[in-house]
Each structure stands twice: as structure tokens, then as C-alpha cells.
Structure 1
Amino acid sequence: MSDQTSDRHTSGDTQASVSTHVLDTSAGRPAAAIGVELSARASPDAAWSVHARAATDADGRCTGLPALPTDTTHARLRFDVGPHLAAASGRAGGADGGAFFPEVTVAFAVAAGEHYHVPLLLNPFGYSVYRGS
């Protein structure tokens, strides 16, 4: 597992790589300081293994995630959005900070050598993810 602070990712020819960014569509701006956890697994029925933890920068980007292990078939991003949404709404309370969605988790299939940019568009009562470029 790696804690990343770099803004660059590296990927060999046989490794998939992942980057992401988070945009708060209710505020019309990037969401900074969102905790991001990248996990990997080697088959659809294998257990997830945490590969890296990082946080979005002032531009809402999390580009310094390390390349995935060579045997990875699936990746998972978990975004800790509760604190951001609670602060943005001015609500704080309860274990989830008052956010309707305290976290967002998205899993996706990966292929060796490919790069996957997976943006998260976030608002207090909904979210959307997609494969970007």
C-alpha cells in the first residue's frame, strides 16, 4: 500500500493505471481534500486489497496514484465525501457528518497497459462517475 503525494502517475506497459478528480457540481468548483482509496483484485471473486490512499488537491485531482499490480483485473475507488458535503452544507452531526452520501464507491474492470481516468461529479443528493480521458 502506498500513501501518495506526487501529482504524477507511472505505468509500465503491463500495468493499468488510475487517476481521478472530483467536481462539486452544486458549488461549481473542484472538491479539494477528498480522501481517495484505490483497491485492486486479481479476479472477480478475489478479495479486494488496498493499493493506495491519497487525497484530492486544490483542483480536485488525484493523479499521483501508483500503477496497479500486473495481475489486476478490477479496481475500486472509494471517495470519503462526507466531510466535504457536510462542510459545504453547513450541517455537521451524526457519524456521517450529516451527509446523505458519506462515501462513494465505484468498481470497474481494467486491462493491462490501459489508463483509466474516473471522474466523480458530486452533489449533496447524487453523484455520477464515468470513464474519462
Structure 2
Amino acid sequence: MTHITTHVLDAATGDPAADVSIVLAHASGGAVTAEAAGAIVAHGSTNEDGRLALGPDALEPGDYTLTFLTGEYFAARETPTFHPYVTVTFTVDSSGRHLHVPLLLSPFAYSTYRGS
């Protein structure tokens, strides 16, 4: 069963980024089916530790996106930002392996990687 988790850290403050809204969706183009392209699978917000588990316990193989609504996060903190949102596109394979997609965030930059 493929399970998606994320962890958002605010690099500007060194703190977990709480209350970041995140949307998990099928990606356009390489989606499970053409009808599912862009369809929202799940959504939620990070907890006080900047963490969130998303989606059903089992995702079908295919391409997906996680969209982090970073503009809303920084606006709530009255901090100007360059990125109104960050979208990370990734592939779920048939291994059923857990996927962790961390985001290191600042007002003018971000980085991500496949975590464990």
C-alpha cells in the first residue's frame, strides 16, 4: 500500500510550518486515467509539527502532485513571498512503498526530495 506523508519546515524561522494547506491530485498527462487528470485525491493542512499524512492507504500507480499553498502560509505571517504555491510532481509505482515528500520552505526559495 502506497502511503503519502509530508513534512514542511520553514527555513527562515527554523520552525515546522504549521497550517500549510496541501492538495494531493492526479497529475495531468501521466495520470492513472485521462479522466482522473487533475482530480483531487485528498487535501489537508500540516499540524503544529509541520506534518501531514494524505490520501487513501493505497494509491494506484501513476503520476501525482502535491500542491503546497505557500502564499497563504506566508500571508498569514505578513511575510512577502515569491512563490504563491509549490507543486511537486512525483510517480507512484507498483511497489506499494511508503512515500515521504518533505518541503524546506523560505519566502523566496524551496527544496524537496524523496524522504524515508
CA positional deviation for 1:66: 2.2
Give me the TM-score of the superposition, normalised by structure 2.
Answer: 0.84
CA positional deviation for 1:100: 1.4
Residue 34, structure 1, aligned to residue 20, structure 2: yes
Give runs of aligned pairs for residues 120-131 of structure 1, distance below 5 A.
Answer: 120-131=103-114
- The AA in structure 2 aligned to 1:19 is T
5+ residue gaps, structure 2, are: none
Deviations 1:90-117 (A, max 9, x none): 34xxxxxx43111000101111211110
Give the corresponding residue for 2:59. 69
- Give SS of 1:82's match: helix
Give the corresponding residue for 1:58. 48
CA positional deviation for 1:32: 0.3
Give runs of aligned pairs for residues 61-100 of structure 1, distance below 5 A.
Answer: 61-70=51-60, 72-88=61-77, 90-91=78-79, 98-100=80-82
Mapped to 2, the partners of 1:42 and 1:81 lie a distance apart of: 21
Give the corresponding residue for 2:10. 24
CA positional deviation for 1:83: 2.0
- Give SS of 1:22's match: strand
Alpha carbon RMSD of aligned pairs, Å? 2.0
- Pair 1:82–1:43, CA change in 2 (3 A): closer
Mapped to 2, the partners of 1:68 and 1:35 lie a distance apart of: 22
5+ residue gaps, structure 1, are: 1-11, 92-97
Among all aligned residue pairs of Structure 1 and Structure 2, give the percentage whose two residues are the same amino acid: 41
Mapped to 2, the partners of 1:63 and 1:23 lie a distance apart of: 15
Deviations 1:50-102 (A, max 9, x none): 100110000000025323433x31121000111222333x34xxxxxx43111
Mapped to 1, the partners of 2:28 and 2:81 lie a distance apart of: 33
